[in-house]
Homo-oligomer: A and B are copies of this chain.
């Protein structure tokens, strides 16, 4: 009898093939996944919600640019639990089509944010013209498709691999401390059917969103639910609620697994104090 071929997992992310989100998706879900690139974050959530994919990967915060509030909004609006986290260092590489040597390059294409993160490289190489493009990975694709002979792109190593570009200079970004944290998401019924497993000794992290009425000390009392139980917070962030002056949403991550009694009690305590409380996910802590 022929062995049933297992279908490869399809994973949605925002951006072009070769985006940093694709790198995060492979780190989180394995090198063998297939991917569905989407134009907007909202499309990524819809793709998972409507069962077009089995998982999704989204950026949630960056060390230079802060939290991606839009994705916290989608996490609140959709019911798609976080099942994993990872961090990816944003490494920009100079990539040219094969046969285009460094000395022949006149123009360099990339997303303006990436071009602006390589200003020291451009200062050392004033012969290059910076050309803004839609997408980092998309600029590699365009150079390969058009057969351009005097230009290069700035993008991830994964983009070079996917489109067959050659990396001429590695890691040309100004700031080596530029990391983006990503979440993997699944549908709730899939998590119920196959609960997450963590390796031996792995630690769990839980992400919640809650709101409090703005009376002085409301946040302080909310945090007592964790502090009085010696639970360790790894992230807290307030965000004003639109159209409701003086009311806030809080994003909070803590070390712990929601089914442990101490975490269950802390969340029960927080529920007494908060107007709204949503557990967005409980997942093995990433690197």
Contacts and interface: CB of A to CB of B under 8 A. Distances in A.
Interface of A: 39-40, 61-70, 111-113, 116, 119, 130, 132-135, 177, 214, 216-217, 219-221, 223-224, 226-227, 230-238, 240, 242
Contacts of A177: 242
A86 to B, nearest CB: 15
Contacts of A116: 40
A220 B226 contact: yes
A244 to B, nearest CB: 12
A113 B61 CA distance: 17
18 contacts: A61-B66, A62-B69, A63-B69, A63-B240, A63-B242, A64-B70, A112-B112, A112-B132, A132-B133, A216-B231, A219-B233, A220-B220, A220-B226, A221-B227, A223-B223, A234-B240, A236-B236, A237-B238
Nearest to A215: B232
A67 B70 contact: no
A231 to B, nearest CB: 6
Nearest to A214: B232
Rank and list the top 8 A-B pairs by shortest CB-CB distance, nearest first.
A66-B66, A220-B227, A217-B227, A66-B67, A216-B230, A237-B237, A132-B132, A220-B223
A66 B63 contact: no
A69 B66 contact: yes
A89 to B, nearest CB: 12
A235 B238 contact: yes
Contacts of A216: 226-227, 230-232
A119 B231 CA distance: 43
A235 B240 CA distance: 8
Given A219-B233, A220-B224, 9 more contacts: A62-B69, A66-B69, A111-B132, A130-B134, A214-B232, A217-B227, A217-B230, A220-B226, A234-B238
